[in-house]
Amino acid sequence: MTDDRLFTSPFNRHSRPIPGPVSLFDTTLRDGEQAPGVALGTDDKIAIAKALDDLGVARIEAGFAAGAAQEAVSLKEIAGLGLNAKIYSLARCTEKDIDAVADTGLSNAHLFLASSDSHLRHKLSLGRDEAVAKAVSAVEYAKSLGLNVQFSCEDATRTDPDFLERFYAAVVEAGADEIDIPDTVGAALPAAMEYLAGRMSKLGVPVAVHCHNDLGLAVANSLAAMSAGASQAHVSVIGLGERTGNAALEEMALTLYLNHGHRVVDLSKLAGVARLVSRYSGRAIHVNKPVVGRDAFAHESGIHVHGMLNDPTTYEAYAPELVGMDRSIKLGKHSGTHSLSSRLAAMGMTFPEEMMPELLAEVKTIALGGKEINDLELAAVAGGLMWKGRPANTVELKRFRVTTGRGIVPEAYVTVSIGGEERSHVASGNGPVDASVNALRGALGEPISLEEFRVEAITGGTDALGEVTVILKDKAGGGEATPGKAVGLDIVDTTMVAILEAINRIYERRKAV
Ligand code: MN
């Protein structure tokens, strides 16, 4: 499927257009880092800045030069990377902060001063006129150092509108190159941002908006502002930021492309960048996060999966490939037989159609406890049904011994009985399980490969019962995937039992052919 296959609603043409040009101002490394519990080191910041640049964002706010000591070091390093994006540092309206930005070698400063009466009174103890004068002299100072200035009236959305306009007009007059309207506490509705962006756009410099997600409206607010003339949206990867975060980069980028035709980043890299930021920040990506969440393209319900398998446009607003994601079909209590057959076919298993209802019933029983059923489990359940009641165990495990430890090569000695005839084999391996599997394979002399192997503890503690699931492929018998499953206290022994179960199934199938 290509990028061109877009599935948006035809009714979207009734929304206000965003003529553009528009771009993103990413603040993952500044507002994102201010998220509670997030702390990024210089190397982390460099890796994220490079990834954002590679993604193609126009502007990156990489930190706060006058903040923690390490901030200036990180900013200096990022300034020296020669990235395509314009790199900004945040700065308060003081000469010390502005000097700190200039000292890093950056040429872009994001200056801010609060404008709401609440902030002026309770935080800054400044009168309105004093605040404007302070901002004006800071902008003039930054311009005198040759910096490009984006100016934010902090808490703009809770500021008296006429005073706000006077404030922005004064900083523009003083030389600010761009202005930003922050919805600092995420209190505004889309129509409010639309109004503010429209009004401040008349001041003659590019307008940015900085929307927080306290009401879950950050993306909607940013889009509304862009429809009224804002040309930049402040965003962060996976919406990382103060409290509930900022407008999510991936959501903004996707909607701007899908509904307005603006390709502001390389969309196919969104999933990768989200994973990178999640790893460095230690913040999980919510499973239901739009665009990049694990379940953004996951389907479980039988009705949906049936539709999806015929044509993905039935239950997806856009193709996962567009944003670097994969589609997945989950098995659970809402599953239908179409999901089962497609998953079994993908694993290379042939399962009799007439037994499907029975398999579905088993899957639903397992899923009742809320357990998600993965491929290995499905294969094991399907295998169990297929070979139920057949005479088995032509191969029996007689004895085995494994030696393992630190500084020695793990080795296994295995004796099996095949149709009454005993065969033994010794083999080494990377660990006790690997050595045992190798010895078993040697004793059988069969071209059988271990395709998948998983151990799960069923109960907690060191005496936990382990559940081993394996999938073998019979290279001699057409390569059909054959599962085996066993439960026991000893992981190595249980693995052998699971493998033997699968091997006996392979032998049964060969006999039947
Ligand atoms: Mn913010």
CA 130–ligand 1 middle distance (angstroms): 23
- Does residue 192 share a domain with residue 117? yes
Is residue 150 domain-resident? yes
The reply to whether 310 falls in a domain is yes
Q: Is residue 149 part of a domain?
A: yes
How much is the pLDDT for 474? 81
* pLDDT for res 205: 98
Q: State mean pLDDT over 180-200.
A: 98
416 and 486 part of one domain: yes
Q: How close are the terminal C-alpha atoms of the chain, in Å?
A: 39
Quick one: pLDDT at residue 81?
97
How many Å lie between the centroid of ligand 1 and the Cα of residue 118?
17
What is the distance in A from the centroid of ligand 1 to the CA of 374?
A: 40
Query: What range defines the domain where residue 333 resides?
Result: 298-388
End-of-domain residue from the set 327, 356, 388: 388
Tell me the pLDDT tens digit for each residue of 431-481. Answer: 998 898 889 889 988 877 888 888 887 666 666 677 888 888 887 777 778
Model pLDDT, residue 450: 83
> Residue 163 pLDDT > 60, yes or no?
yes
Query: Same domain, yes or no, for 366 and 218?
Result: no
Q: Decide: pTM greater than 0.95.
A: no
Using the mean position of ligand 1's atoms as its centre, give its distance from the Cα of residue 341 in Å.
48
106 with 226, same domain?
yes
339, 364, 388 - which closes a domain: 388
- Both tokens assigned to 416: 């099996």
CA of 496 relative to ligand 1 center, distance in Å? 57
Asked whether residue 252 falls in the same domain as residue 157, the answer is yes
Contact 66, 92 (CB under 8 A): yes
Q: What is the residue-wise DSSP string for 275-312?
A: HHHHHHHTPPPPTT-TTTSTTTTEE-SHHHHHHHHH-G
Residues 248, 312 within the same domain: no
- Say how many Å lie between the CA of residue 246 and the centre of ligand 1: 7
Q: Could you tell me the CATH number of the domain that includes residue 418?
A: 3.30.160.270
Please state the domain count of the chain.
Answer: 3
Q: For residue 73, what is the domain's CATH number? A: 3.20.20.70
pLDDT at res. 3: 39
- Residue 377 Cα to ligand 1 midpoint, Å, equals 45
- 353 and 427 inside one domain: no
275 in any annotated domain: yes
| pLDDT of residue 147 exceeding 50 | yes
Please check the confidence at residue 300 and state whether its pLDDT lies above 90: no
Q: Please check the confidence at residue 337 and state whether its pLDDT lies above 70.
A: yes
Q: How high is the mean pLDDT of the chain?
A: 90
CA of 242 relative to ligand 1 center, distance in Å: 6
Residue 242 lies in a domain: yes
Which of 25-29, 337-341, 392-396 is most confident?
25-29
- The reply to whether 119 falls in a domain is yes
Domain end residue (candidates: 356, 388, 420): 388
Three-state secondary structure string covering 172-185: HHCCCCEEEEEECC
In the reported structure, the alpha carbon of residue 253 is separated from the centroid of ligand 1 by a whole-number distance in angstroms of 19
Neighbours of ion ligand 1 (CB under 5 A): 31
The alpha carbon of residue 41 and the mean position of all alpha carbons in its chain are separated, in whole angstroms, by 21
Ligand 1 geometric centre to CA of 86 (Å): 19
Residue 288 belongs to a domain: no
Query: What distance in angstroms lies between residue 241's CA and the mean position of ligand 1's atoms?
Result: 7
Q: How far is the CA of 245 from the centre of ligand 1 (A)?
A: 8
Q: Do 320 and 252 fall into the same domain? A: no
On whether residue 287 sits in a domain, the answer given is no
Q: For residue 24, what are its two tokens?
A: 């993103």
Same-domain pairing of 435 and 464: yes
pLDDT of residue 449: 81
Overall average pLDDT of the 385-411 stretch:
83
What is the distance in A from the centroid of ligand 1 to the CA of 28? 10
Buried b (16+ CB within 10 A) or exposed e, 117-147: eebbeeeeebeeeebbebbbebbebbbeeeb
Question: Would you state the pLDDT for residue 4?
Answer: 45
376 shares a domain with 239: no
- How many angstroms does the Cα of residue 186 sit away from the middle of ligand 1? 9
Q: Is the pLDDT of residue 127 over 80?
A: yes
**Cα distance between residue 264 and residue 253, in whole Å:** 6
User: Separation of 442 CA from ligand 1 center, angstroms?
Assistant: 63
Report CA(30)–ligand 1 centroid distance (Å).
9
- Cα 80 to ligand 1 centroid, rounded to whole Å: 26
Are 232 and 307 part of one and the same domain?
Answer: no
Would you state the pLDDT for residue 2? 37
Residue with tokens 């395709």: 451
Considering the domain architecture, whether residues 165 and 307 belong to the same structural domain is answered as no
